């Protein structure tokens, strides 16, 4: 299967990306289809997000610059399609990645259960099996539909020695924190 880039009919990058960043960091986002990966990335890039669910085909690569510790860092994010049929292209996405964001939906127990399988793939395909990872429980705004309690996910993260954060695209909460914490860990 060949690598298909960017299904979405919109520009791939937002913001002004210049060539004079002091460093650049590649992150990969994985997780089941529909957990909110693309919406999280839209919000991180300050795009206006849409409520329409357009499933990512293959991988969507987008970037932005930010300043961390007085240094300009270019963050390139590979947003992968969560559908099973895109799994064969994922291995190549990890090449050169310095961090992985693994997303599940707190209202979808299966998407949390599948995190184990995503972790196996990360360990198999990332050049460094100890690559920094951030576990993200998204859709935290939907408290009445929650199927995965915070403590359960946090304990799983502790046992696997990875960071855990809950986000909400609708409430715009913890999104920058999720990305930037991982960038900081990845560039340490």
- For residue 67, the minimal CB distance to ligand GTP (Å) is 26
Joined tokens for residue 95: 């090449």
Closest CB to ligand GTP among residues 32, 73: 32
Q: How many CB atoms lie within 10 A of CB 147?
A: 14
Under the criterion CB under 6 A, does residue 23 sit at the interface with ligand GTP? no
66 binds ligand GTP (CB under 6 A): no
> Measured from the CB of residue 155, what is the shortest distance to ligand GTP in angstroms?
22
* H helix or E strand, kind and range, residue 8: none
Decide: is 48 part of the binding site for ligand GTP (CB under 6 A).
no
The whole-angstrom separation of Cα 144 and Cα 156 is: 22
Whole-number Å distance between alpha carbons of 158 and 23: 30
With binding defined as CB under 6 A, does residue 61 bind ligand GTP?
no
Bridge-based pairing of strands 99-105 and 59-68 is unpaired
Part in contact with ligand GTP (CB under 6 A); list of ranges 13-21, 33-41, 63-71, 126-134? 33-41
For 59, the 3-state DSSP assignment is strand
Site residues (CB under 6 A) for ligand GTP?
31, 33-39, 51, 53, 55-56, 81-83, 138-139, 141-142, 168-170
């Amino acid at each position: 299967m060949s690598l298909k880039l960017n299904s979405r009919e919109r520009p791939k990058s937002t913001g002004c990306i210049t060539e004079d960043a002091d460093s650049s960091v590649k992150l990969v986002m994985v997780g089941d289809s529909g957990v909110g990966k693309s919406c999280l990335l839209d919000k991180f890039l300050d795009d206006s997000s849409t409520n329409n669910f357009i499933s990512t085909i293959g991988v969507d690569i987008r970037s932005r610059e930010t300043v961390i510790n007085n240094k300009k860092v270019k963050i390139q994010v590979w947003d992968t399609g969560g559908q099973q049929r895109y799994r064969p292209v994922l291995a190549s996405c990890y090449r050169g990645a310095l961090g992985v964001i693994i997303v599940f939906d707190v209202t979808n127990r299966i998407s949390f259960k599948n995190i184990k399988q995503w972790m196996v793939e990360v360990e198999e395909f990332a050049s460094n099996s100890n690559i920094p990872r951030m576990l993200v429980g998204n859709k935290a705004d939907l408290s009445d539909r929650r199927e995965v309690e915070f403590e359960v996910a946090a304990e799983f993260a502790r046992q696997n020695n990875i960071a855990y954060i809950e986000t909400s695209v609708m409430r715009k909460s913890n999104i920058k924190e999720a990305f930037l914490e991982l960038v900081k860990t990845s560039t340490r």
